[in-house]
Structure 1
Amino acid sequence: MTDRANQDQAEYWSAQQKWVDHQETLDATLAPVLTGLLEQACLRPGEHVLDIGCGTGASLLSIAQAVGPKGAVMGADISSLLLSRARDRIAKAGCENVRALECDAQIYDFAPASVDCAMSRFGVMFFEDPVAAFANIARALKPGGRLVFLSWADLQKNPWFDVPRQVAFDQLGPLPKPEPRAPGPMAFAERNYVSDILTSAGLKDVSVSEVNVLLTPPDGVAGAAAISTRVGIAARALQYFEGSSDDAHAIEDGVAKAMKKYETPAGMRVPAALNLCTAVRG
């Protein structure tokens, strides 16, 4: 095994400037997901928490608030680019009990039995060897320590992904199908598969259940459609097929029309289906 088992993922995520450029919009869109994750984690003041795939740091700041100044938060992410933004936010917030570590959580030598809770919002679906990764994370948990994370459920139940995918494929043609369960946003869509991974990693009391939330894109239908051509499946299709600016505008218009039904007087409310995954170290 190399020093970084997920080298392809490291190279990909460290070149994704668009995730930094659109950080505020993405944070606002996914805010209900983070709120739900924190509710399920039941964090207590003074706890030590590992945030896996912390990205640009929104989750780190919320976790720090939950555990208070006597707690400690370590964010782990494979992307130096995303971590740079996270560190800037940590410093600006004055969170002295938070650190963001560039590492591969699959193989990093975390201090054994040092963490009360390991958690993640969409940060654990990219491991080359998920059983090895969760076994490694489990070693960082104290006996009885908790693992809580959210991953995307079926693509067809998530219009935030599926609508841009359908519109882009109609415009450009379909992308090559990924290998089943390959690292990526939908790798943990199958609940039984995730349950088997966590059990094989040695975790106990494993539970994987579907939950539903409403995503909250902040800039209306036009904003939701615009970001879909910059981040996600439609953006990948435009790059793969070397789509033109006319293609991008056509996809954006098509997504806006399809997303219009999710407009409400309170703003955009896009339904999402997620898998809530919990376990403990025995």
Structure 2
Amino acid sequence: MSSDAPNQAQIDYWNAGAGETWAALNDRLDRQLAPLGDAAMEALALQPGDRVLDVGCGCGHSSLALARAVGGTGQVTGIDVSRPMLDVARRRVPEGMESQLEFLEADAQSYSFETEAFDALYSRFGVMFFADPAAAFRNLTSGLALRGRLSFVCWRSLAENAWMAVPRNAGLQHLPPAASGDPSAPGPFAFADARRIEAILVQGGYTNISISPFDTDIVLGRDLDEAVGMALKVGPLGAMLRETPQQLGTVSRVVREALTPYVRRDGVLLPAATWIVTANRASAWEPG
């Protein structure tokens, strides 16, 4: 990809420490995120033979689930900017499914999609990182069939997502003050505002837009040790510790204390808050 790509900062980020971390922890992360992705997939109502684009497919867990849903006559394409994660995705493709499932290392905001190549677009937490989300969705729409369907799941605010907020808030007492940046900047919470999502999709050429809350507890770890390890490596706290690794020991202790009240018999469970977003390509929309 060109070094002057519109999402170059995200491309660099997901090909360095963040992408390598997610690739190494993909099994645990998939276990956490699968119930949320499944809710968005159910809303998409896939049919056998559908052609689906998985936006921000990461390590390919969601792409494999999509491929099973559309069956042997369907086709799934996963697209992501992270080579470390795509390396995992390509290794996961079962024998006999190679012609049904492919992965592209590309930026969905600028990639030239074949016109009306897909019946459906799907994403599990992969659409919040575009520098220009309206432009990205317009580009995605160009590859979607007339009246094609869209479904994705994205995070609501950090404050509503205790599984990230609790360890982050505990660690902050031993870390440099967090910068108060633009809440709409590319990042996990860029789509926290439902009104912003709707405006972006309208600009992108969508209609029949539905944005519904979906809340559930997710398993941060099967035990306290695993939960602390995950909290220190992913999410907002993980990002801060990659910049200040010398604080790891101290932060680990306070995060353990903060997570202890959430220990249950079946693991360490904390609330997660998301939007399930669905829409259709507007029949009158034309790329331009």
User: TM-score if structure 1 supplies the norm length?
Assistant: 0.93
Report Cα offsets for 1:137-174 as digits up to 9, x if no partner: 11111111111001100111101211121012111132
Distance 2:88 2:193 in 1: 32
Output the CA distance in 2 between the equivalents of 1:196 and 1:28.
32
Between the aligned partners of 1:124 and 1:143, the Cα distance in structure 2 is 21
- Quote the Cα distance in structure 1 between the aligned partners of 2:220 and 2:236: 17
Runs of 4+ in 1 over 6 A off after TM superposition: none
Q: Quick one: which amino acid aligns to residue 11 of structure 1?
A: D
- The 3-state SS of whatever aligns with 2:34 is helix
Task: Report the Cα offset of residue 256 of structure 1.
Answer: 2.5
Tell me the C-alpha RMSD between the 2 structures.
Answer: 1.8
**12-21 or 56-65: which moved more?**
12-21
Change (3 A) 1:219 1:196: same
CA contact (8 A) 2:222 2:266 kept: no
Partner of 1:14 in structure 2? 15
- Structure 1, unmatched stretches of 5+, are none
Query: 1:107-129 CA deviation, whole Å, 9 max, x = no partner?
Result: 11111112111010000000011
Paired position in structure 1 for 2:258: 258
Instruction: Assess, with a 3 A threshold, how the Cα gap between structure 1 residues 101 and 243 changes in structure 2: closer, same or farther.
Output: closer
Pairwise CA distance, 1:263: 2.7
Displacement of 1:252: 2.2
Structure 2 residue corresponding to 1:116, chosen from 116, 119, 125:
119
Q: CA deviation at 1:178?
A: 2.1
Q: Does 1:155 align with 2:127?
A: no
Whichever residue aligns with residue 132 of structure 2, its letter is: D
**2:275 matched to which residue of 1?**
275
* Residue matched to 2:286: none
> 1-side partners of 2:112 and 2:101: how far apart?
18
1:131-280 matches, cutoff 5 A: 131-240=134-243, 242-244=244-246, 247-280=247-280
Say if 2:37 and 2:153, in contact at 8 Å, map to a contact too.
Answer: no
Alignment-mate amino acid for residue 119 of structure 2: D
2:5 aligns to what? Answer: 4
Instruction: After superposing the two structures, state which structure 1 stretch, 143-152 or 86-95, moved more.
Output: 86-95
Moved more, 247-256 or 151-160: 247-256
Offset, 1:218: 4.2
Identical pairs, percent? 37
1:174-197 C-alpha deviation (Å, 9 max, x unpaired): 221222300000100011011111
User: CA separation in 2, counterparts of 1:172 and 1:93?
Assistant: 49
Q: Which residue of 1 aligns with 2:51?
A: 48
CA distance in 2, matches of 1:95, 1:264: 40
1:70-109 map, 5 Å: 70-91=73-94, 94-109=97-112
- 2:39 is matched with which residue? 36
Report the 3-state secondary structure (helix = DSSP H, G, I; strand = E; otherwise coil) of the residue aligned with 2:210.
strand
Secondary structure at 1:104's aligned position in 2? coil
Q: Give 5+ residue unaligned stretches, structure 2.
A: 283-288
- Count of residue pairs the alignment pairs up: 279
Aligned residue number for residue 61 of structure 1: 64
Contact 1:168 1:237 in 2 (8 A): no
Distance 2:265 2:96 in 1: 33
Structure 1 residue 219: deviation in Å? 2.5
User: Does structure 2 conserve the Cα–Cα contact (< 8 Å) formed by 1:130 and 1:197?
Assistant: yes
